[in-house]
Amino acid sequence: MNRIIYVLAFAFLISCSTRTKSVENKLVSSVALDTLTLLDQSRNREIPIAIYKSKTKHPQIVLISHGYGQNEGKPYLAYSDLANFMASKGYFVVSIQHERPTDSLIPEKGIPQIVRRPFWERGADNIMFVINELKKSNPEIDFKHITLLGHSIGGDMTALFPQKYPGIVWKIITFDNRRMALPRTTNPKVYSLRSSDQPADPGVLPTEAEQKKYGIMIIKLPNTVHSDMCDNATDKQREEIRDYVLTFLND
């Protein structure tokens, strides 16, 4: 790790905004939280991350990619409830900040699969860089069983990652990715939670036949909208999301 910056912060996200609670750098239910910034010198890009960990000796790792925040605030901290929950179950959880204030905004016009692809590519590169850095700093992690979890555009990055970097991850979990097609594979294993209000583009979700063929699990949350698939969720929604994610992790 080239540079470490410890911060006390709260998360802001366009889709996960005003109700997001502040997150302190302390022990929360036996889970330790550290925030730091990595520097990818090859791209001259700073990548803030939040690490949630317990005292498990050889933990599996889950990397979280946030939804779109229009380059404002710290959306990588907007999934603290789920991150703390997974860490309390023994996982080493890392939430990655994919946006910087100087980045260009995502195009609103054009075919999303074309004009937004560079943003997904950059996110996949960020994830790969973080994995490689963690291999140096935390060799005790079980890197044979890596799970990626992403919301919205973070889900698109997550869906793209196995295509760009095959053979790296064990499972992917997406929350309402809408543009990048989910892999039709058994390796990695594929899971997705879907909101009640935002449909995916044609071809993004596997057909029922494909789900059966590849063992893909697609679950619709009838009482949760897209913007509440983070710390914005009510207690009941959080519990439902946590239960499904734990089922996916244990599958």
Q: What is the pLDDT of residues 29-50, one digit of tens each?
A: 589 999 999 999 999 999 999 9
Task: Provide mean pLDDT across the span 136-154.
Answer: 97
- The pLDDT value recorded for residue 234 is 97
Task: Provide mean pLDDT across the span 243-251.
Answer: 98
- The pLDDT value recorded for residue 30 is 81
| Mean per-residue pLDDT of the chain | 90
- The pLDDT value recorded for residue 14 is 45
Q: Which range, of 1-5, 9-13, 47-51, 143-147, averages the lowest pLDDT?
A: 9-13
Q: What are phi and psi of 73, to 5 degrees?
A: 70, -155
Determine the Cα–Cα distance for residues 41 and 64; give it in Å rounded to an integer.
22
Residue 168 has pLDDT above 50, yes or no: yes
Task: Provide mean pLDDT across the span 53-77.
Answer: 95
Residue 219 has pLDDT above 90, yes or no: yes
Residue 13 has pLDDT above 50, yes or no: no
The set of residues, in sequence order, having a beta carbon less than 8 Å from that of 212 and lying 6+ positions away, is none
Task: Provide mean pLDDT across the span 88-96.
Answer: 97
Candidates 229, 246, 225; CA nearest to 238 is: 229
Determine the Cα–Cα distance for residues 186 and 211; give it in Å rounded to an integer.
10
pLDDT band at 10 (very low <50, low <70, confident <90, very high): very low
pTM here is: 0.90
9-250 falls under which CATH superfamily? Alpha/Beta hydrolase fold, catalytic domain (3.40.50.1820)
Query: What proportion of the chain, given as a percentage, has pLDDT over 90?
Result: 86
Question: How far is C-alpha 82 from the chain's CA centre?
Answer: 11
Determine the Cα–Cα distance for residues 146 and 196; give it in Å rounded to an integer.
28
